[in-house]
Amino acid sequence: MKRIVLFDGECNFCNSSVQFIIKRDPAAHFLFTSLQSDIGQKYVKQYRIPADVDSIVLIENERAYTKSSAALHIAKKLDGLWHLLFLFILVPRFIRDGVYDYVAENRYRWFGKNEDACMLPSPEIRKRFI
């Protein structure tokens, strides 16, 4: 089963997060597409993802996870000890999402916005982008 990660293609932090996931996902559990792409917009409509969700979404088992839930479900599948972060799912969502929203609201200011260039992945990694 493939999992699809939708991400903000203009956000340096989000692009770095995609690179982080790729490096820790040698089994290639995840495929990637930007929220701004036609395919990304198709998933946004199909899964009725709210307009205020603009940083990361995980599509898994015909369900869309957003905000901290998306991040934690992604961490669960990563190599190393990253899967232990999934224990934070026990923290009430309003607390987790509050922290997530704070980082998301400040990500452009802290990490910048990439409007002109995009990464050039190797052919092997390029297969993971839809």
Q: Which domain holds residue 52?
A: 3-126
Cα 20 to Cα 31: distance, rounded to the nearest angstrom: 13
- Number of domains into which the chain is organized: 1
Residue-wise pLDDT tens digits, 5-57: 999 888 788 888 999 999 999 999 999 999 989 999 999 999 999 887 888 99
**Taking every pair of C-alpha atoms in the chain, what is the biggest distance, in angstroms?**
40
Per-residue pLDDT at 67: 93
Strand order of the β-sheet with 3-7 is: 30-34, 3-7, 56-60, 63-66
pLDDT at 44: 94
Residue 116 confidence class, pLDDT cut points 50, 70, 90: low
CB 65 within 8 A of CB 53: no
Whole-prediction pTM value? 0.85
